[in-house]
Amino acid sequence: MPRPPRIPFSGANDHVVTRGDGRRKLFHDEGHYERFTKGLKDEVQRSGWIVLAYCWMPNQIHALIQTPEPNLAKGMQHWLSGYANWYAKRKRRTGHLYQGRYKAFLVEDAGYYWTLSRYIHLNPCNGGKPLAQDPESWPHSIFAGYARKSKHVDWIE
């Protein structure tokens, strides 16, 4: 059965999710997290995206992205393949990094933003083995930037 087509449009808000192939880690050290975040920053500057939330977990990522232009698919390809190529060279690895194609869920209900933002930022605090006690202590999300302006990054609105 063919996958449903993505219908891009200006002003879309998408919850973007992907994870490591076979649920393997995407990030092994701080350098990996930094390179992935730099890739997002570069894509924001290139495509004009507005990042509303993000959280990187060892084997998955979540981001809430607004696309002023209908360019999510092209930008995601650029961002994710850029990281996958960098990762493959650094780890001397071949094969898939991601488990299939990324998923993008259109967010149309403004009231759902709060629920989704909470879900994204609480991700490291949930599950059988929480990675953080609270979202502010997890260094690989934008939550601390929202909570304390001193940690706010300049390319996130």
Tell me how many domains the chain contains.
1
Rounded to whole angstroms, the Cα distance separating 145 from 142 reads 5
pLDDT over threshold 80, residue 31: yes
97 contacts: CB under 8 Å, gap ≥ 6? 20, 21, 26, 83, 84, 87, 88
Give the domain range for residue 146: 12-150
Q: At 2, is the pLDDT very low, low, confident or very high (cuts 50, 70, 90)?
A: low
Residue 103 is assigned to a structural domain of this protein: yes
- Mean pLDDT over 88-94 rounds to 87
Residue 123 is assigned to a structural domain of this protein: yes
Residue 131 is assigned to a structural domain of this protein: yes
Q: Which of 143, 144, 149 is nearest to 63 (CA)?
A: 143
Q: Which of 122, 148, 126, 145 is nearest to 135 (CA)?
A: 122
Q: Which tens digit of pLDDT belongs to each residue from 66-76? A: 999 999 999 99
pLDDT for 152 equals: 57
DSSP single-letter state for residue 70: S
Contact (Cβ atoms closer than 8 angstroms) between residue 126 and residue 133: no
pLDDT for 118 equals: 93
Residue 72 sits in a domain whose CATH number is 3.30.70.1290
Residue 7 is assigned to a structural domain of this protein: no
Whole-number average pLDDT of the chain:
90
Residue 155 is assigned to a structural domain of this protein: no
